[in-house]
């Protein structure tokens, strides 16, 4: 399933769950880690080691996490940077909601930024 419960077809990015995103955030912040290291960084979330390991395996099968074996442990790293993933998501949204019309996408994003700026009361420096 994709945006707004619509089945995604031809998406460049597989659907991600909240836990998968949390694990990716850890890898983006820390780089290459063993499952135990990811687990230690997620202890506040109350996630067990076996859950972290299965999440890493799922991300690996989706092609979003690479791994290398050192001795008896796998070390995982994100295949795409955070900004690359955002770019892929924006491409998917443009394709699904704007029929691939990037002008519509850019216009919508500019409007979002303008509204966000107004809501936070921030100003350019």
Got the DSSP string for 15-29?
---HHHHHHHHHHHH
pLDDT in tens, the chain (125 residues): 444 444 455 567 888 899 999 999 999 999 999 999 999 999 777 889 999 999 999 999 999 999 999 999 999 999 999 999 988 888 888 888 878 788 888 888 889 899 988 888 755 54
> Coil, helix or strand for 111?
helix
- Measure Cα distances from 58 to 46, 62, 106 in Å: 19, 6, 33
Which neighbouring-strand residues pair with 75? 34, 68
CB within 8 Å of 102: residues ≥ 6 apart = 94
Note the pLDDT of residue 9. Answer: 55
Largest CA distance in the chain: 53
Q: How many angstroms separate the CA atoms of 99 and 91, rounded?
A: 10
- Measure Cα distances from 9 to 1, 12, 60, 80, 96 in Å: 9, 9, 21, 21, 9
The two three-digit tokens of residue 104, written as one number: 């519509």
Note the pLDDT of residue 3. Answer: 45
């Amino acid at each position: 399933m994709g945006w707004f419960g619509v089945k995604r077809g031809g998406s460049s990015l597989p659907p991600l769950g909240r836990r998968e995103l949390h694990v990716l955030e850890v890898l983006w912040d820390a780089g290459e880690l063993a499952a135990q290291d990811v687990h230690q960084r997620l202890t506040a979330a109350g996630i067990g080691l076996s859950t972290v390991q299965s999440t890493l395996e799922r991300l690996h099968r989706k092609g979003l996490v690479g791994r290398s074996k050192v001795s008896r442990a796998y070390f995982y790293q994100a295949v795409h940077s955070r900004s690359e993933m955002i770019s892929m998501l924006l491409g998917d949204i443009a394709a699904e909601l704007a029929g691939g019309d990037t002008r519509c996408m850019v216009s919508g994003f500019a409007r979002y930024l303008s509204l966000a700026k107004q809501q936070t009361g921030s100003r350019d420096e």
